[in-house]
Chains A and B, each alone.
Chain A
């Protein structure tokens, strides 16, 4: 469903090329729930932006739902949903309901399907109390539920979320998590999310990609991630340990080969 082959992106900063993502190769199958971890500035967002067609890669290639994101951006937009935790894709001054109606037109979702899907999402995400409220007046938790709804109205096969739980309180976080888990389990939607919240990872992700210095530093299950640093208690400590040690030695690129392989790490 998602595939990258030695994908990379450099940015020119004051005349010199700085690599943000280098030589990234991984595969996500349909129906997987994958979490993408990494310290700030590691290249997670750049990766997500290349997979959603926002950024054009400097080299390598990506395929999402069988499409090349930067070359077939509009076709891809109909097949994937994208949520940014840090900003809304909704129209600030419009009531939530009107934003959804605009989304329906832009994605050319037919009226019946839209009505049905919106009714489902309104119920599950409990949107009805604030459907008529302008987006700018929503609380962060409400806005996030609205954003998730907007990203799912066209029934995408893949949902990509960039820090969806950032800034949410415990209750709102729990709601978002249980919704994503159900979406993945019941509809089979492939989910890829980036996060700094290891609660997201532990509760949701069957598979973790750790990106560091723009490279894939680990690819495996949460249990395998834990086992990497056996003397650490919590998953937080494990990840902190990995982040810290990685700043001393820049990692090489490991490759994940089909399933049964032991996880690799170079942190």
Chain B
């Protein structure tokens, strides 16, 4: 933990040396994601509901998934650069230090500019909170935290895959960046098979969809059992355990580079 903070701080200091580029990157990170949100607004100029959800409700889904992802991405997203580290040989040097290579990877090149994305998601979430009834608000922090864990676990799985597959970053991106885009909309707009897949295989539905059905008092279009609305922490822990095991298996299989 303190090693993480120390390494991350080192990177923040290093990038803050170039002040203008630092500020520009925060703003552009904010702006790119803001455009993304504007796109949803444009859709609602033509329809009143999307997959059975009103604009503020969709913003709630967008905001929760966005906040979870932005936190996971900022803290741990750098582990997706594993294959670069393997090729450059820098992963070897992480393995000879008395700190977990996972922590070193996550903190390496820590990008404080990603705060821009987080700020944007927080604003959208803030604006949407009017749709959350007080009696059900308790589930919101829990779903965001579960979302952070689920996205981190997906990042980790993607990294673990890179121990065996060099092209894995592309595959992993489909689930991380693809995952956040997917969960920013009501899953009811997608086909049933896809929704089943992200419920039971890669449990992205637990990032926000399932708990949001309870919070927004919406029926599950697939008619899945009621208790799944509260199963996000369970799904998060299960996926975290699987990804940790995959990571360890990956390290055992690590081949290093020549010489």
Contacts and interface: CB of A to CB of B under 8 A. Distances in A.
A binds B: yes
Interface of A: 11, 41, 45-46, 49, 52-56, 70, 73-75, 77-78, 80, 82, 84, 86-89, 91, 93-94, 98, 102, 105-108, 162-163
A102 B7 contact: yes
Interface of B: 2-3, 6-7, 10, 14, 88-90, 92-93, 95-100, 251-256, 258-259
- What 6 A-B pairs are tightest by C-beta distance, nearest first? A77-B98, A89-B93, A82-B96, A56-B252, A54-B95, A74-B98
Contacts of A54: 92, 95-96, 254, 256
B89 A56 contact: no
A84 B97 contact: no
Nearest to A166: B259
A11 B14 contact: no
Contacts of B93: 84, 87-89
Nearest to A78: B98
A93 B256 contact: no
A94 B17 CA distance: 12
Nearest to A105: B6
15 contacts: A46-B256, A52-B96, A53-B95, A77-B98, A78-B98, A82-B96, A84-B93, A87-B89, A87-B92, A88-B93, A89-B97, A105-B3, A106-B3, A106-B98, A106-B99
Given A45-B259, A86-B89, A87-B90, A53 B7 contact: no
A119 B14 CA distance: 26
A74 B89 CA distance: 19
B96 A77 contact: yes
A105 B2 CA distance: 9
Given A54-B96, A55-B254, A73-B95, 4 more contacts: A86-B89, A86-B259, A93-B14, A163-B259
Contacts of B256: 46, 49, 54-55
A112 B259 CA distance: 37
B97 A77 contact: yes
Nearest to A82: B96
Contacts of B3: 105-106
A93 B3 CA distance: 18
A144 to B, nearest CB: 15
B97 A106 contact: yes
Nearest to B7: A102
A94 B10 contact: yes
Contact of A84 (B7, B88, B92): B92
B252 A49 contact: no
Contacts of A82: 96
A11 B255 contact: yes
A91 to B, nearest CB: 7
Contacts of B99: 74, 106
A163 B258 CA distance: 13
Contacts of A46: 256
A106 B5 CA distance: 11
B254 A56 contact: yes
A41 B99 CA distance: 30
Contacts of A52: 95-96
Nearest to A86: B259
A24 to B, nearest CB: 17
Contact of B96 (A41, A89, A91, A93): A89
Most buried by B among A54, A91, A162: A54
Contacts of B6: 102, 105-106
A144 B99 CA distance: 23
A74 B100 contact: yes
A84 B255 CA distance: 17
Nearest to B90: A87
Contacts of A106: 3, 6, 97-99
A54 B95 CA distance: 6
B10 A102 contact: yes
A18 to B, nearest CB: 11
